[in-house]
Amino acid sequence: MTERDTILEEIDEEILTEEEEQTEITDEEKEAEKRKKAEELWIDVQSGNTKHLITKVASILNRFPETRNSDVALMIKFWEVFEGHKGNFISVNKLFRLERLTSVARTRAKVQNEYGLFLADERVRRYRQSREESQREFQIATKPPMESISVFADESGKNDEFAIVGSIWILAREGELNGQIVDWIQDRKQEDQSCPNEFHFNKIRNNGTNLQVYKDFIDFVVGNGHMIGFKAIAVNKTKINKPIDEIITELFYQLVRVGVEHEKNTGRIDLPKQITYMKDAEEGESALRLSQIQQSLVDNFKIHYDQNLKLNAFMSIDSKMNRFIQIADLFTGAINRKINHQRKNPNTTNAKDEFASYVYELINIEELSYPTEHFTEVSGQDASDLATLYIFD
């Protein structure tokens, strides 16, 4: 049994032995433990593990966003997917063999309230009694899944002139691409000692001894990522009278806004869609800041897209747990090198500068410049299909 399976079994035991409740974070250790469990759960859901009650319920919440608002709809979909229930009627004998609503509801509460995943709409009616509401429950339970876009992001430049959030977008076939990347790294490590366990821009050695493997890695990703895109947004923070954390929070939303508008205008996506948003975990990152970013996304999606764009999940994950976060790190690091370092030090170059130039040329990063005061207004309609950097200066 793996460590992750042990953790998930512990969660199952907690659900079956405790009453539903939402506990407040009392110390950093408890918050760290919750974050670890949330990360483990997220990884298992994405990898298709449904051996545990918690992963089964989370899988339904992930695939069918409407079930996040209704325990009844969640239970029905659970029965259909995992217990083979069909039709509109259940015999009394069969009812005793199916997973109980109380267990499903407690599990949903833990996933949403404690781990902050697959959240319900802000205003959700817990109890529906009229025939109209009952019919709505049935419609929710039988509604097809909403397609998801995955965004993996990293931030940079907090202590420089430009604050940056860069990202890789995966519109489809995420699991297939991830498997290809894992295989490539395993094969490369057998023949090349310079191949790292984790790819990070700041780990490129200045003397270039591991530069080639970094170039080959990004080559492979771009060559095999048929449904990917790279998007970044940078703002001159010296021209905005806000604390840096507020600027970064705004960048995370604006990145999605221009990205979604661009993908719509180029015809690569149609709404409705749900966004799965993963960012690289920062040292000392507070739960409050993550909550603020998540709430900003939820609120703005509701204002600008109504029910046509939903936040599937927002999580801060250690890059060692996700290859796409590492790719976002390389992309964002290249941009940071170009606009924060090379502009100030044009005559000082090393392997990091060479890699940054290589990335720019490989994916043909298109820079679009706007005045800082238009920070929240640009639509993203005139951007390159593969890679775009929006600069506000």
Q: Cis peptide leading into 243, omega within 30 of 0?
A: no
12 & 27 share domain: yes
Q: Each residue's pLDDT tens digit in the chain (393 positions)?
A: 677 777 777 777 776 665 444 444 456 677 778 878 888 888 888 777 888 899 999 988 888 888 888 888 898 888 888 888 887 777 767 777 888 888 888 899 888 888 888 877 765 534 434 444 555 555 555 556 678 899 999 999 999 999 999 999 999 888 889 889 999 999 999 999 999 999 999 999 999 999 999 999 999 999 998 889 999 999 999 898 888 888 998 899 999 988 998 888 888 888 888 899 999 988 877 778 888 888 888 888 888 888 888 888 888 888 888 899 999 999 999 999 999 998 888 777 899 999 999 999 999 999 988 888 877 776 665 656 789 999 998
- Would the pTM count as exceeding 0.75? no
The three-state secondary structure class of 218 is helix
40 and 134 together in one domain? yes
Supply 172's token pair. 């489809």
- 244 and 326 part of one domain: yes
Secondary structure in 3-state letters for 252-296: HHHHHHHHHHHHHHCCCCCCCEEEEEEEECCCCCCHHHHHHHHHH
Task: Output the pLDDT for position 131.
Answer: 45
Residues 183 and 51 grouped into a single domain: no
Residues 115 and 244 in one domain: no
Domain end position, chosen among 114, 141, 168: 141
Residue 373's domain is classified under what CATH number? 3.30.420.10
Which helix (H) or strand (E) element contains residue 311?
strand 309-317
How many structural domains compose the chain? 2
Q: Of 120, 141, 162, which closes a domain? A: 141
Which residue among 141, 168, 196 closes a domain? Answer: 141
**What distances in angstroms separate CA 338 from CA 32, 202, 215, 345, one per listed residue?**
35, 14, 17, 10
Same domain, 61 and 180: no
Instruction: Give the whole-angstrom CA distance, residue 334 versus residue 23.
Output: 41
Asked if residue 155 and residue 204 are part of one domain, the reply reads yes
Beta strands in the chain (DSSP E): 148-156, 162-170, 228-236, 273-280, 309-317, 366-370, 387-392
**DSSP run (H or E) holding 72:** helix 71-83
What is the extent of the structural domain holding 44?
A: 3-141
Residues 388 and 259 in one domain: yes
Residues 18 and 166 in one domain: no
Q: How far apart are CA 393 and CA 369, in angstroms?
A: 7
What is the predicted pLDDT for the residue at 161? Answer: 94
382 and 247 in a single domain? The answer is yes
Q: Does residue 346 have a cis peptide bond before it, meaning omega lies within 30 degrees of 0?
A: no
**Residue 181 sits in the same domain as residue 222:** yes
CB–CB of 61/111 below 8 Å?
yes
Q: Which tokens sit at 83?
A: 């217990």
CA distance 54 to 386: 37
114 & 230 share domain? no
